[in-house]
Structure 1
């Protein structure tokens, strides 16, 4: 690189000198095309003259961009024309696009529009260092989006950062995985180019990450630049064999990055390279960099943003503007000649400027800058000041979490967590998440509301779209009454991880699941010496209802009800729906499904006899079906019957349907919720993969079943399975015994072909051959695929799709929400 290029004072001047200096080297490459520096420099200079002739001085040009060569050339052409450029995302909402154009009076042009402008031979006056170069619009999270104006000198300074902190130079091939329309996307595009590095563009939003690693390896990418959320998505599909051998550096920007992300990166894509966290903002540009060579230890939690960027003096001050000592949190203030010129429509400010960022941060003893949130993000909860980012950090440490964001309601003094989980591992309940957070966080830092999602909504710029986060279910708690309810309140708060609960609030809607219910009921048994089954609790899952049961003390009636296998899950009118639970699962495990089902018909759950109270378990699927028929007929003597069964319960309910039809009863429909064949069911099974060791696990006890099994040798477990239901066992062991029993019954079961209408609702990991089901369900057979795996399809958020499929499968007008 020549000294003339290094010394160029403007972005336009520097680019044209780099293009001339690098000649035939490839400047930009995509999977479809490429262009050399020389050709790119020639075309941008030519189009710059055309833009200058067609667009009045001072009028911004809004360029619609994709991650392609034409878009890069269009941005560079406007920069070289002396007109400010606004990079417009194709995914930008129409209202936001209209606001930007109306506010700036910009001329909207596509790269094709720019290519179509008449050629001009009129020389372009070189822009000055403080002439407006780029308008970057803020996210608008605190109001209407504002246009931040950056001068021509800004990316000369950014290029210097790229050379100093990232080592960018002519030998690099830099892969930019951020859309060019992001503020950081412009940075990631210009920093390599202005240092003579080649640019590799891959449009992740349109191509996804499928094939990305192979293309980067083929192009010998040396540096990779993306967002933390994209990195996490990419890593989820990566393995140690996917390493990028030529890559020496990977950077992330735009959001906080966590040590767990970097640890996963070191284990897969970049075992021997450098990771660098790179932070900044619309007003500041680059703020700080933090490099992590492979030998450097990772901190816990959020990675500090690191050392200040070139030419940026950073101070931490208190509310009066006085600098605070090292280690103390205050507002981050930046002084520099390289800050933005101000906001569009306001008088520009040049020279050295001081910017109060609104970010809260601190310096540690090593001089590393830590950002801990926005000044207006911190809220007081029960008198304590809480930074949501600290809670987010704890959430990300949980094994199920893929992504998380925590928001605060200052008026109410409470936190809400939105958690994206990896359903392939386990979909936790809100109560599980709150309980897990209690191991590392103070009680006032645990969010009152936890919303489980498959992914967090994001804006067109890739940041979490807080406005699109679904609100938690509304709560109108009533105060408890009397000593029994007061004691129950204490127990529920402990089990659910909540500060307070209303006497009228439903246990499931508060985030409780079957395991949490079993824990709570065991506590009641110890305190009151009263046995209440989860079946009875499911009928009245509130403190008010539970307190009434405890006070009434009808012990004989409770024991009789608990020994049965039928549970009323919901009252209503019309034709009832009967749903059989999976092996080792109580009927109460179906409550999340019932809550999402809609409609007003009564719903009854069926579970294994002896699961919760002493009573010998049925020793065959046929015997379980006979019992189910007796229970169903006791509630509904005449048809039509609506039947459903989950997993093992699907085979029980299908056999029960066959028995009902043999009696002459009308069975309207049977819905099988991910019923899975065992290899030994040879009567109908053909050419299906052996699922030995892969069969269903008891949903409520997933993760606990394996540990329970290791505590008993095979002989002991065989004895427990043979005597299932006759002994009172710890809850999770009882579920495991009945799960093993269910599997053994399925291995011996030879299903009877069923000629009535059947709908099979299959999870994404159900690989059974539909033809095998066609031989068993010989009538009308419908297959519906739903999101989630075998276990998570009955847990939030996937249970919504499962409930919708069940509702659509049911015949008649009642299937309309």
Structure 2
């Protein structure tokens, strides 16, 4: 161990030194851990801490120059990847004022946040550059996190003594609320979380989050200060099987994720051999359940550690609950039983006096991690000061169990926690009332008989006007984060009111609950036999609804989404003893078809994977073969299939095969040929690809033509990658020696089957299908691309062997790569695709 390492390893063991700045702590850690791996890149290679700091050095110099010229603050726009690590190092060392924003949020919301702190300098990488430039004012500057080069030949940028990172959360006024967190407060929070984890440079930590979320920023800073390697997972790109594979295969020993995701991961692990090592798991953002504790120790054993973090953006990490198997028994919420160092928490009655054990009151916290306040200076903010110093009223209600042990019972205000995200109901209502034509609104989190909570809103149009809830909901998507858009808007003439004239919140919730229950009612043919009825039971349990699904309704029509499909497959696997992929639900979408397939699986002991999944049967128009991206799931096309109005038949490829040879171009060609037999043989074929699936679609086009298939053309949706990434290739070579020497012993086991490990599917597609080897020839081809992809294409002379000028390219500037296949983008993509199918359908 080097001298520099000795100076910073275990820095959290002693007392906290407030005189040492966060920037100086980051500098010391960068020197001590320069040769250690820091973050796993998208191609599976590792970037060392030294490389992160070298890249950040160039960013810091460019950023410092911009701040000298323009003043103001710095705004970071990046994904949950290595660029977020570089951005945090740069701003926490050299920016007096900064913020980190999530590029997946509406542009208007992020622009407000940048204006609130006066940001004139923006940091972005290649994936967010177009978005950042669309937000920038004419005199702003955008600095590329992956394009400033090595600044080692120039003097270092100054390190600030302290600064403020503003974290934006939901605000009751309709604007995002900026919480001003001093860098010193962030250091103190990480000091306590490092202590909770027992952090070491030898750790390998997987965390799930999104940029701009305070929990994710803590996880990233934890890695930077403690010198361990991190495996970041973007919250919007969840793939349960891939996460499970990463934890098993990479040797992960620390995990940070919300309880709802942990619950699904444990169920998946229980059906797939569990884990071969002890894990330390921290969960936050939602309440852990006693059933989660029981499942955790059943899957991982008593050698693993489970703890729940209680904190807030305003006060950092305050308390924790550490749990053992005995906590799985009993009733009620799990207790918080361990105070953080330097933190004082009191449970107070309405008169401000400490409550006695068994009584309930409001939580007041005093901590060195306390924020300075809000950018908007909101009244009734919860911040205060008395003779003992500053404090914060969290807005939570708690019951004191005994000295130092309490249970959080809920919020005292109208702030809710939805899937780990804090949401102000007032912000949703403000957004509704700002939409022309609407006069009243009341949002609520409603639970049905199954315990599933759903965000709904009751709305009333201005008297004399007719409101369209569907149009209003689409409008809200442009101003609210996706998780804050109500799942359903219930339109009434007037909101119910109490005798004093106030909105009757209980009456609103009751009406919304009844509407939620009736919305999923079904009058079709009931399930038949024990297996169908068991499947119907599973649907109700997973979706949390009272209504019984008919045997013929499809899972997606009944309200299921991809995450629900994963949970449903876990239940099926546990019941019938077979391993199922999410495409089982895509191929067998009704209760009747799922029951029949499960009976066959139980009889044979296996569940045959569908190579080609029919999303729409039709004798009219061409046959469209849909190729998904590297995730491999046909499910990704369901939203577009539902919006597509043109006559055609839709067949989607499933790329998650148990035999990796199935992904060879010739094998995929034969798979498609087999599905095009019979009556389909005489019909023209249109190939559709998304993301990396565009490479496969383009390759299949030529191979199918060679076999005499009438390929009318190709429709490619935001193709990626467009060329090899030499920077990542250099990074991979730089750390390859380290990986050979540091590979963990448990990494040498046999790889999981491809249909249980999407990461392996992604690797195989990358190996077999290269942009430089893909040629579309003279085949008709149209592309729908994002602004970022259009920018890259404009810098290229040719694309897939065809001059760029000869390519039919349409740009969708308002959508990102992932948005294209989601609800927001499905109507746009479907409209574009309908025109291409009509043009190519004549073969």
User: Whose RCO is larger (CA < 8 A, sep 6+)?
Assistant: 2
Flag the structure with larger Rg.
1
TM-score, normalised with respect to structure 2? 0.49
TM-score, normalised with respect to structure 1? 0.50
